[in-house]
Amino acid sequence: MKSIIAKELVKTYDKGAVRALDGLSLEVEEGTVLGLLGPNGAGKTTTVRVLATLLTPDSGSATVAGIDVLKHPDEVRKVIGLSGQYAALDETLTGWDNLTMFGRLYHLNSAASKKRAEELLEKFSLIDAAKRPIRTYSGGMRRRLDLAASLIVKPKVLFLDEPTTGLDPRGRMEMWEVIDELVKGGVTLLLTTQYLEEADHLADSIAVIDTGKVIARGTADELKNQVGGERLEITVEVDQIATASKLIEQVSGTTPTVDSGIRKISAPVSNGSASLIQVLRLLDDAKIHPLDIGLKRPSLDDVFISLTGHVAEVVSEEEVGGKHAAKRK
């Protein structure tokens, strides 16, 4: 069953001059994680805002948990959770007060709000900080509490818009563990991120979007295979680069890429370890002893650059939307 279906979504700003979404279509299977990967301004946040009923598209259609997003937005809101790039918390209140407040906003009675708040504080390892004001929380604690608030009503579908932006490596790892637990519980998750390793770690499948369109879709391995097979990488002394390059070309059949600054030579190879052994023998015969040598599979970074023509930019897409909003005022 498809938990999320979007068809030909279009959203423009500035009287059509800017197309945030340009015929975007995607589907997410129930109980799986789809990672939306794309550069700054690609349309990731706009997609989430449309699916979460916060933004009306110019055209196209979408359903979430089988409910039409455009015709029945109130019904959609009852079955989804949303955690954005910026925590929607009241910093003057404690963690406990924030969660009970969200419970009441979701029309839970006082007893149910308190019970759910306690469950979530324990689930997200925030019990010890429950009575402290939010302003005393670390960045990781705030993001965990914001995610907890999005789970007040036990959503069927959860939208996470760059949930680890601004967190240090430890905070990101902690958030990954929390997200892993949610997925094990059967929640369908749409995750936007500009951290390539995050998509690789968390997503069952990945949709790469650019200029408001899905330009590639597949598992991390499938996307990596689109870029090509393994690459042989070798580092040698400066005076050995020319000779080593010719030897590698004999094995690869293509002209190697040479980075003289770091003395690295790389070239695609079709048969992995056999090519590595062959190159080592040729280098040994030539009395060249590499400083470093190995095989490298394409990373999601390679996929991203290959598909979009540029590296991921860790900049909030909301800044782009904000600029358009400012122009309209």
Considering only residues 86 and 17, tell me which one the structure prediction assigns the higher pLDDT.
17
What mean pLDDT do residues 247-265 have? Answer: 90
Residues facing 4 on adjacent strands: 28, 64
Distance CA 101, CA 81 (A): 16
**Which of 75, 124, 78 is closest to 99 using CA atoms?**
124
pLDDT digits (tens, 9 = 90+) for 77-88: 999 999 876 667
Residue 140 belongs to some domain of the structure: no
Question: What residues make up the domain containing 162?
Answer: 2-79+155-225
Residue 263 belongs to some domain of the structure: yes
Which of 183, 210, 225 lies at the terminal end of a domain, its last residue?
225
Distance CA 233, CA 83 (A): 41
Distance CA 276, CA 263 (A): 18
What mean pLDDT do residues 130-146 have? Answer: 90
The CA angle 45-313-124, to the nearest 5 degrees, is 60
**Which of 328, 324, 321 is closest to 40 using CA atoms?**
321
Q: What is the per-residue pLDDT for 84?
A: 76
Q: What is the per-residue pLDDT for 312?
A: 54
Q: What is the CATH number of the domain that holds 16?
A: 3.40.50.300
Q: What is the per-residue pLDDT for 189?
A: 95
Residues 186 and 55 in one domain: yes
- Count of domains forming the chain: 2
Residues 29 and 54 in one domain: yes
Distance CA 38, CA 192 (A): 8
Residues 287 and 235 in one domain: yes
Q: What is the per-residue pLDDT for 87?
A: 62
* pLDDT at 305 exceeding the cut of 70: yes
Contacts of 180 (CB under 8 A, 6+ apart): 202
Least confident of 28-42, 105-119, 144-158, 172-186: 172-186
